[in-house]
Amino acid sequence: MSSTTEHLSLLHRPRRLRRTASLRRMVRETQLTVNDLIYPVFVMEGENQQEEIPSMPEIYRYSLDLLLKEIADAANLGINAVALFPLIPTEKKDNAGTESHNPDGLVQRTIKAIKQEIPEMAVITDVALDPFSTYGHDGIVKDGKILNDETVEVLVKQAISQAEAGADIVAPSDMMDGRVGAIRQGLDDAGYFDVGILAYSAKYASAYYGPFRDALESAPQFGDKQTYQMNPANSREAIKEVALDIAEGADIVMVKPALAYLDIIGRIKEYTNLPVAAYNVSGEYAMVKAAAEQGWIDEKQVILETLTSMKRAGADLILTYFAKQVALMLPKAP
């Protein structure tokens, strides 16, 4: 019997295109590049200080001088943007997050220094009160409730002071209603019509933020964030939030967390022509690091597979603590 007759006659054999590495590369649909990465960084007061965050191995809070070195490193790896988060000393916290719009505050000083030392690095700043709030909530607290409109007024001041310091993009992560429109108006009235808004549009009330709250000592002092962040069970509501933020003037919309919300990233990508960002959050980072430390998974492969899944789902931009590590693994982007 000739060998050919032993074969099934199949018109389609998908394995033909998986046979060699060259063929696989040719039909690859999704390519992660360093241009997709935004590196979230933590800054604290002091000089020559760095503290590793226990629940986030290899991620540090840096004093400004050392942060500038870290950011210069990131720039050398081809990373285009950082997202800045501050550790605010307890004595500077209050209910209204007043320190958030101090023109000489830690964030404002840090933005200026980055823009002076590494001007090509895009600086994205967090607009929210939690790092500045005695209660660790994203808004002003009254009788156990989080006030919306009063909070938005402070957020506008915060965003303007960040723009004044030189931020390229402000990123409201607070989930108050109407904040994107108010911030757009406030920035425009102050002459900052070129400063963009990356809206945390579909931000879920997630347990994956735990390590981040360790990093900033910003865990809520009572209750949780379910009256403003979204219910993880909801998907159509994400479209509603995105639609509102776009109508109010968002330049980029974001889904957060990323890994447990790939379906949401996919839906939003279908819905809008705006760039879509995804936040590969602290808990997602911690899970990979913990399993890798145990030797239970191949760290590099898992990181690449995870971030590629976010890109495949539709993310144009990914905020990730793996940014530097990944930049080292990827082919240099044009």
Looking at 93, 112, 225, 256, which residue is catalytic? 256
Residue 203 falls in the annotated catalytic set:
yes
The residues facing 85 across adjacent strands are 42
281 binds ligand PBG (CB under 6 A): yes
Give the whole-angstrom CA distance, residue 24 versus residue 103: 53
Give the whole-angstrom CA distance, residue 154 versus residue 98: 8
Sign of CA dihedral 199, 202, 205, 208: negative
**Residues between 194 and 223 that touch ligand PBG (CB under 6 A):** 209, 212-213
Give the chain's length. Answer: 334
Q: How far is the CB of 276 from ligand PBG (least distance, A)?
A: 17
Residue 92 falls in the annotated catalytic set:
no
Q: Which uninterrupted H or E stretch holds 72?
A: helix 64-76
Most distant CA pair in the chain: distance in Å? 87
Q: How far is the CB of 282 from ligand PBG (least distance, A)?
A: 3
The residues facing 51 across adjacent strands are 61
261 binds ligand PBG (CB under 6 A): no
230 binds ligand PBG (CB under 6 A): no
Residue 120 is labelled as binding a ligand:
no
For residue 35, which phi and psi values (nearest 5 degrees)?
-65, -15
- Shorter beta-carbon distance to ligand PBG: residue 186 or 211: 211
**Residues between 128 and 157 that touch ligand PBG (CB under 6 A):** 128, 130, 138
Give the whole-angstrom CA distance, residue 203 versus residue 221: 20
3-state secondary structure of 58: strand
| Stretch binding ligand PBG (CB under 6 A), from 14-22, 74-82, 125-133, 302-310 | 125-133
Per rule CB under 6 A, count of chain residues that contact ligand PBG: 12
Give the whole-angstrom CA distance, residue 87 versus residue 313: 32
Q: Tell me the per-residue interface mask from 173 to 192 with ligand PBG, x by CB under 6 A, - otherwise.
A: xx------------------
- Shorter beta-carbon distance to ligand PBG: residue 19 or 145: 145
| Stretch binding ligand PBG (CB under 6 A), from 9-17, 123-131, 153-161, 307-315 | 123-131
Q: How far is the CB of 331 from ligand PBG (least distance, A)?
A: 27
- Shorter beta-carbon distance to ligand PBG: residue 138 or 168: 138
Structure-token pair, residue 205: 């009330």
162 binds ligand PBG (CB under 6 A): no
Q: How far is the CB of 84 from ligand PBG (least distance, A)?
A: 11
Place of tokens 């539709």: 314
Give the whole-angstrom CA distance, residue 236 versus residue 227: 17
Q: How far is the CB of 172 from ligand PBG (least distance, A)?
A: 9
Report DSSP state, residue 140. -
- Shorter beta-carbon distance to ligand PBG: residue 260 or 333: 260
Give the whole-angstrom CA distance, residue 40 versus residue 55: 15
Q: How far is the CB of 168 from ligand PBG (least distance, A)?
A: 18
126 binds ligand PBG (CB under 6 A): yes
Looking at 203, 225, 311, 324, which residue is catalytic? 203
Cα–Cα nearest to 184, from 160, 165, 164, 220: 160
- Shorter beta-carbon distance to ligand PBG: residue 100 or 272: 100
Q: Report the 10 Å Cβ neighbour count for 147.
A: 18
Give the whole-angstrom CA distance, residue 243 versus residue 247: 6
Catalytic residues: 203, 256
Numbered residues of the known binding site for Mg(2+): 241
Q: Write out the residues near ligand PBG by the rule CB under 6 A.
A: 126, 128, 130, 138, 173-174, 209, 212-213, 225, 281-282
